[in-house]
Amino acid sequence: SQLHTLKFKQNEKIEAFLRRVAELRASLLALGEEVKDESLVPIVLRALPSSYRIFVTTLNLSDTTISFDKLVNLLQQEEAMHNKDDEEEQALSSHQKWKGK
């Protein structure tokens, strides 16, 4: 199915990616194929870009089964941290350029 070939698009926001996942899941359900959380969560984790590698590894090592809704919340938090890190790097870079370095 399309879920198994799912890929995170370059520069895609987590919210848009997760919306695509939910739409695919709903389409499959409409065709009579239910996709349970325990199947969906690993599919989503495999589709994430390399910038989420530590996040994925941490979840895999936790040996805890999580729901799709919980994964959505965790991914939104992770993206917020990525965005904050990017903003701090840009601010530092701008400051260094301003100082002539």
* Torsion 88-90-96-101 (CA) sign: positive
Q: Compute the average pLDDT of residues 41-57.
A: 94
What residues does each domain of the chain span?
A: 2-98
Cα separation, 93 vs 77, whole angstroms: 24
**In the chain, % of residues over pLDDT 70:** 82
Residue 78 pLDDT level (bands cut at 50, 70, 90): very high
pLDDT above 70: residue 33? yes
The answer to whether the beta carbons of residues 66 and 59 sit under 8 Å apart is yes
Cα separation, 49 vs 10, whole angstroms: 8
pLDDT above 80: residue 100? no
Residues 6 or more apart in contact with residue 7 via CB below 8 angstroms:
47
Residue 26 pLDDT level (bands cut at 50, 70, 90): very high
Q: What is the pLDDT of residues 56-69, one digit of tens each?
A: 999 999 888 899 99
**Range name among 42-46, 54-58, 78-82 with the lowest pLDDT average:** 78-82
